[in-house]
Chain A
Amino acid sequence: MFRLFRYLKNYKKESVIGPLFKLIEACFELAVPVVMKKIIDVGIVNEDMGYILRMGGIMVLLGVLGLSCSLTAQFFAAKASVGFGTALRTDLMRHINKLSYSEIDSIGSSTLVTRMTADINTAQSGVNILLRLLLRSPFIVIGAVIMAFTFSVKLTLIFLIAAPCLAFVIYRIMSLTIPRYKHIRKTLDRTNLLTSEALSGARVIRAFSRQEDEEREFRNVNEELTVLQLAAGKISALMNPMTYVIVNIAITALIWFGGRAVLVGSISQGDMVALINYMNQILLALLAMAILVTNITKMQASAIRINDVFDVKPSVTDEGNSEVKADDSAPAVEFRNVSFAYSGSEEQALSDISFTVNRGETVGIIGGTGSGKSTVINLIPRFYDVSSGQVLVDGTDVKKYPFKQLRHKIGIVPQRAVLFKGTIRDNLKWRDKSASDDEIIKALKLAQAYDFVMEKPSGLDEQIVRDGKNLSGGQRQRLTIARAFIGSPEIVILDDSASALDLATDARLRKAIADETDGITVFIVSQRISSIKNVDKIIVMDDGRVSGIGTHSELFNNCEVYKEICLSQLSDEEVKNIG
């Protein structure tokens, strides 16, 4: 948690002034019982009305001073804590953007989103409350004890016993309940999971007539939850009565011993009232402390989670790489004995892959999901680093490129058609902010997206809502295809990205790519033979290895795996026509 405090460094002044003014306010608060004592001991005893009014005035003054100090403190605390949150957010965002694919894989995108939002918010309010209360509560407790000391040394003993007892009871109850509440949280998550499964699995549950079992399971978890809640409730229900008992027993003791002290004249009646007041102040301060502890626990949990993300270092970096000059005679993409294993996995996802792709060629990569097709193409923009071997683009190892230069050469159409909020034009200009409308329209036509975009009321300026919900899956996919062709890419990778298209559109798209992409090296990853059978070169992947490279007819005659796929997907007639 303390590691995160470095984000307060631009708010040093605020982080000091905040708590400081809180302490000054606490001093004023501690002074009030003293003034009250004066009223009783001096004002009333001497029947001095003027004195009483003067003291009353002082009390009002103390209140005003306290209020202004408090407001000052709140302001600086707010400024510091929000500044903290903002700086932390910026830094975490920057850090996350640097992570490479293998880190994103292992942490998970949704986790990163939670860290950026909920966890930072928690940490921010934690810092705020910390700045305001951390020093104040102990200060009031200690201050009250010291004030008591000025009245009566002997009676202070009661304070010295009561305050630690109170602190202990509060601490003990909290240390018993906090883990229980965590447990409750987990059980609640299980009810959440069961509910969500009951909805997503409604068809299967009904098909197997398992409703009653699902209900029984839910009832059991729910019962468990209730038992846990009652158990935790039993402990936390002790907080108020126990603190009440301690404080009031202490007050009773004050009265008992105080009475004797008044009798011998070592303290006055006003002192007595003031002492009782201090005892109550201690209780309030410690209860505020309890709230603080709850917040700190939450904050700490968030801080640990945030730090965990900071601790993950990007495994692929382009530090120290400078602009690479392209070698025009070299092939566009070359794999030299590439092997690759995902981190944490012992199995090799790719082993000993070698192939060469020349400029302007269209290459199909086919194979099953586990076969390593996507892994191959993820190595070209260097989303992952190879375990051994080399990947070369334009004759230079991808490890030597700055990311920007390398990735700008490559237009990617990912499997998931991701679009961001904004206009269609904004979404198409990702690769090139200065792309002209002519260029955009050309790409839209190529991607078979021109017609539907033009049918939109605002055309290119049509707003895309979040997740592109106002477009169909096929439309989204076509836009992502168009996007990859804008900004003159040298290499375009279509990663199984025609799955949402109907067959006729898919066919037109393939034809357009074949006819209109001269000079661009195109990779088409697919599971469908029909998508790739007419390309220049087909790479057949099987179980992380290349099991054949060649044209459709060559492979059909020489590559077992390819033949197997063909036979399962093509009609007899088409099979007969091969060759």
Chain B
Amino acid sequence: MADKNKNSAGVLRRLMRYASPYVPMFILSMVFAVITVATTLYAPILIGRAVDVMIGRDNVDLDKLTPIVIELVVVVAVTALSQWLMSLLTNKITFNVVRDIRNDAFCKLDRLPLSHIDSHPHGDIISRIITDIDQISDGLLMGFAQLFTGICTIFGTIIFMLRINLKISLIVILLTPLSLFVARFIAKNTFMLFHKQSEARGEMTSLVEEVTGDLKTVQAFGYEEEAEERFEVYNKRLQQVGVKAIFFSSLTNPCTRFVNGLVYTSVGIFGALAVMNGAGTFTVGNLSSFLTYANQYTKPFNEISGVITELQSALASAGRVFDLIDEKEEIPDSKDAVVLSEVDGSVEARHVYFSYDPKVKLIEDFDLHVRPGERTAIVGPTGCGKTTMINLLMRFYDTDSGEIRVSGTPIKDCTRSSMRSMYGMVLQETWLKTATIRDNIRYGKPDATEDEVIKAAKSAHCHGFIKRLPKGYDTVISDAFSTLSQGQKQLLCIARVMLSLPPMLILDEATSSIDTRTELIVQRAFAKMMEGRTSFIIAHRLSTIKEADNIIVMRSGHIVEQGTHDSLMEKGGFYSELYNSQFAVE
């Protein structure tokens, strides 16, 4: 599937599909492009004609000059107008198409299975939606307009020139591509230098990220001098390659300008000779038009070579974006899926098999019977895969085989949203939206009243600190917002769940990132929530674990033991080992 987005014809076709609502506009913009090119090229001819009627003293035909001037004004006006309209149309098509693609790509994110989101670097997905789509607009759509007018200009110029004089046209047509070769030659030879420069820059950047990014550590170890020494080495190297890369790449303009100068001179000389010997078939005015053409003709060539590189990278970008859009989606809820509206709180797992990677078996033949209102603690060393349980219970991942039932209904037969809404989830990784505190608390119930919000905040013990914030409930917070402590963030997440308080809970107990005082408050809030509710707790605290009706012990992704505290201790397996090492060392 992904392969089809690697061939440019396929990508272009996809893109055309996005552009299809704008086909009339597209055609119109091409028409304006042709008009613009034609009138732009016609103007030098008119100017040439004007020059021809002013031969010298007492030899100027003012009667002929007037209509030429009038025509020129009209031509200029038409050119400007059609050029403007063309730009407007191109903009409109570009930005609308890009908007549509961006919307599709974003909406895709909500339909991707979590396994995709978990296994792909977020930075990569973001750069597809932001940078790559930007590249499509700059490179593909704008580039196409430039390419089209460029080609029109080249052919138009050739036609106009040929109509005036064959020989001099040939000079222009044959000599001009020279500048292209020169530009190519320079580009080819500077590529290596640029490559070296970006390598040197990369080295420099990663050193800076390392050293400056962890400045506190550097200072704590008195590492500054050594850091500066290492830095100077990279800096000097960057300087050496930088001067070369910048110098050689800046040769392109002067060199092509020089070639243009040669073309201009040749046209001047041969044109002048043609005027001399042509006996009226080639005039000074023709020469003046030709000089203008000689200047203009190279421009589209230079532009096109730039546009083509842009186009290529834009096509690659578009391919990446379409790859994302084509990614396999979560299997949608079936049409006859049950909408869970009430549950008794019982959860059952039967013969569940699950693994992230088919080669590494994780959960095998797992059975679990949770009666309404029971507490299940999930314990194990850090990194043992406790989140796997959340993934399965919330159906972020589907089981490979076996089934999980909520209130007797297999969760695969329920709509995801109704099933998930039966759970209140508070994770240790506190995710808050960049929005006001109020909006964050009512995230699960956007139509909640102010009273409900405050009530939830109070029962999660966060009303107090919210009130103390300068803007209270209107304070805008974000994932990166640092004024709130980790504990306070977790309290907000609890308030978010408190607002609707579903019959079942998934809680993630804090480890060390939360302070003791707040932890006690969080514990109190947890306890309040859990009253009479079925709850799954990723537990670190002994009291929680001991009070649980059932303990699931996990180790490197596997479920190794299951039972009550006493039965597990008696068994003398991994749990008892864990328990003894944690709580009774030395």
* B199 is an interface residue with CB less than 8 A from chain A: no
User: In residues 546-586 of chain B, which contact A (Cβ within 8 Å)?
Assistant: 578, 581-586
Interface string of A76-91 (1 = CB under 8 A from B): 0111011101100110
Interface string of B132-147 (1 = CB under 8 A from A): 0010000000000000
Choose one: A97, A196, A226, A367; the contact of B122 (CB below 8 Å): A196
A225-B99, A503-B581 known; A67+B382 contact, CB < 8 A: no
Q: Do B585 and A530 touch across chains, with their CB atoms under 8 A apart?
A: yes
Interface string of B420-447 (1 = CB under 8 A from A): 1101010100010110000000011010
Q: Which residues of B contact A104 (CB under 8 A)?
A: 215-216
Interface string of B309-323 (1 = CB under 8 A from A): 000000000000000
User: In residues 83-123 of chain B, which contact A (Cβ within 8 Å)?
Assistant: 83-84, 87-88, 91-92, 95-96, 98-99, 102-103, 106-107, 109-111, 114, 117, 122
Q: Do A502 and B518 touch across chains, with their CB atoms under 8 A apart?
A: no
Closest to B120 in A: A199
CA of A152 to CA of B264, assembled, Å: 25
Q: Do A255 and B50 touch across chains, with their CB atoms under 8 A apart?
A: yes
User: In residues 188-228 of chain A, which contact B (Cβ within 8 Å)?
Assistant: 188, 191-211, 213-215, 218-219, 222-223, 225-226
Q: Which residues of A contact B334 (CB under 8 A)?
A: none
Choose one: B54, B238, B272, B487; the contact of A262 (CB below 8 Å): B54
Q: Which residues of B contact A62 (CB under 8 A)?
A: 261
A40-B284, A206-B416, A255-B47 known; A240+B216 contact, CB < 8 A: no
CA of A511 to CA of B586, assembled, Å: 8
In the complex, how many residues of chain B place their beta carbon closer than 8 angstroms to a beta carbon of chain A? 152
* B474 is an interface residue with CB less than 8 A from chain A: no
Q: Which residues of B contact A52 (CB under 8 A)?
A: 269, 272-273, 276
**B interface SS class:** helix
Closest to B214 in A: A418
User: In residues 21-58 of chain B, which contact A (Cβ within 8 Å)?
Assistant: 43, 47, 50-51, 53-58
Choose one: A110, A272, A421, A499; the contact of B213 (CB below 8 Å): A110
Closest to B445 in A: A208
* A569 is an interface residue with CB less than 8 A from chain B: yes
Q: Which residues of A contact B578 (CB under 8 A)?
A: 503
**A interface SS class:** helix
* A276 is an interface residue with CB less than 8 A from chain B: yes
Q: Do B265 and A59 touch across chains, with their CB atoms under 8 A apart?
A: yes
Q: Which residues of B contact A407 (CB under 8 A)?
A: 219-222
Least CB distance from A162 to B in Å reads: 13
Interface string of A175-195 (1 = CB under 8 A from B): 000000000000010011111
Closest to B579 in A: A571
Q: Which residues of A contact B51 (CB under 8 A)?
A: 255, 269, 272-273, 276
Least CB distance from A216 to B in Å reads: 10
A63-B262, A276-B288 known; A241+B95 contact, CB < 8 A: no
Choose one: A60, A97, A249; the contact of B224 (CB below 8 Å): A97
Choose one: A472, A510, A574; the contact of B583 (CB below 8 Å): A574
Q: Chain B interface: which of A230-238, A293-301, A324-332, A388-396?
A: A230-238
Choose one: B268, B295, B478; the contact of A280 (CB below 8 Å): B295
How many A residues are at the interface, by size bracket? 35 or more
Q: Do A383 and B95 touch across chains, with their CB atoms under 8 A apart?
A: no
A244-B80, A408-B222 known; A204+B57 contact, CB < 8 A: no
Q: Which residues of A contact B582 (CB under 8 A)?
A: 503, 530
User: In residues 232-286 of chain A, which contact B (Cβ within 8 Å)?
Assistant: 233-234, 237-238, 240-242, 244-245, 248-249, 251-252, 255-256, 258-260, 262-265, 268-270, 272-273, 276-277, 280
Q: Do B210 and A421 touch across chains, with their CB atoms under 8 A apart?
A: yes
Q: Do A113 and B58 touch across chains, with their CB atoms under 8 A apart?
A: no
User: In residues 234-280 of chain B, which contact A (Cβ within 8 Å)?
Assistant: 235-236, 238-239, 242-243, 246-247, 250-251, 253-255, 257-258, 261-262, 264-266, 268-269, 272-273, 275-276
Instruction: With a 10 A CB-CB cut-off, give which of A420, A496, A511 has the most chain B CB atoms.
Output: A420
A-B CB proximity, top 6 nearest: A368-B515, A265-B57, A237-B87, A369-B515, A209-B417, A241-B80
Q: Would you mind naming 20 contact pairs between A and B with Cβ atoms under 8 Å apart?
A: A39-B268, A66-B257, A66-B258, A74-B254, A82-B242, A104-B215, A117-B201, A203-B427, A209-B420, A226-B95, A237-B88, A241-B87, A251-B47, A272-B51, A416-B214, A430-B221, A466-B210, A502-B382, A530-B582, A568-B519
